[in-house]
């Protein structure tokens, strides 16, 4: 499974591609950030984020895109920019027919470090260890993007089984209704 992780942001949008399957060693294929100038007009910044993500999708051809779920922060201005960058990432994936998974920051931290309250340094250290890197990716947005991809690779099989079970249950309910009529 090849996953593009996106840690959305308008100034720095972290991106990282990880390949592998749950229970096996994972491989980092690429990591970086898409940067925009805080002085640029919002529309131009969003286009720059789109172009950056499209370039990553073209180069690495992931099968899935994992995006950090935007959560309420104290600074509304910051959360708006994050939400806009997140929407751009989802749009780029949807345009290509790629499945998008949203993971909360605490879900990603728990998957990678074992604690949903881990700090940036702990996440970076575990990403470094799990991907057998020489040093933590910089800036932290890049490490967070890799953590998102790792989280998705590890969680996707269980989520898929759950979705299949729910679909089978719904189908069984529909079938039993038809029989009783």
Q: What confidence tens digit (pLDDT) does each residue in 23-64 have? A: 999 999 999 999 999 999 999 999 999 999 999 999 999 999
Q: Which of 60, 67, 55, 51 is nearest to 2 (CA)?
A: 60
Distances (CA, A) of 116 to 7, 110, 122, 137: 17, 4, 11, 20
Q: What tens digit of pLDDT does each residue of 116-155 get?
A: 999 999 999 999 999 999 999 999 999 999 999 999 999 9
User: Does the structure show a pLDDT above 80 at 179?
Assistant: no
pLDDT band with cut points at 50, 70 and 90 for residue 107: very high
Residue 149, Cβ neighbours under 10 Å: how many? 33
User: Assign residue 22 a region: left if phi > 0, alpha if psi is -120 to 50, beta otherwise?
Assistant: beta
Reported in sequence order, the residue ranges of 2-129 that DSSP labels E, i.e. its strands, are: 2-7, 12-19, 27-35, 64-68, 100-103
The per-residue pLDDT for 166 is: 76
- The CA dihedral of 98, 100, 101, 104, to the nearest 10 degrees, is 140
Out of 14-23, 130-139, 169-178, pick the least confident. 169-178
Which residues are known catalytic residues?
A: 7, 68, 141
Rounded CA-CA distance 103/56 in Å is 20
pTM check: above 0.75 = yes
Distances (CA, A) of 154 to 22, 65, 148, 175: 5, 14, 10, 33
């Amino acid at each position: 499974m090849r996953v593009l992780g996106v840690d959305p942001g308008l100034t720095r949008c972290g991106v990282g591609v990880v390949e592998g399957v749950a229970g096996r060693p994972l491989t980092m294929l690429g990591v970086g950030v898409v940067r925009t100038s805080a002085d640029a007009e919002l529309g131009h910044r969003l286009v720059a984020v789109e172009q950056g993500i499209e370039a990553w999708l073209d180069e690495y051809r992931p099968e899935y895109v994992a995006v950090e779920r935007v959560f309420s922060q104290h600074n509304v201005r910051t959360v708006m920019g994050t939400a806009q960058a997140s929407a751009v990432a989802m749009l780029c994936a949807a345009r290509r027919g790629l499945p998008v998974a949203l993971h909360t920051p605490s879900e990603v931290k728990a998957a990678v470090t074992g604690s949903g309250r881990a700090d940036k340094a702990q996440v970076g250290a575990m990403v470094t260890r799990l991907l057998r890197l020489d040093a933590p990716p910089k800036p932290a947005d890049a490490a967070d993007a890799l953590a998102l991809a790792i989280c998705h690779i590890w969680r996707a099989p269980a989520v898929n089984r759950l979705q299949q079970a729910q679909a089978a249950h719904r189908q069984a309910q529909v079938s039993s209704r038809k029989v009783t009529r």
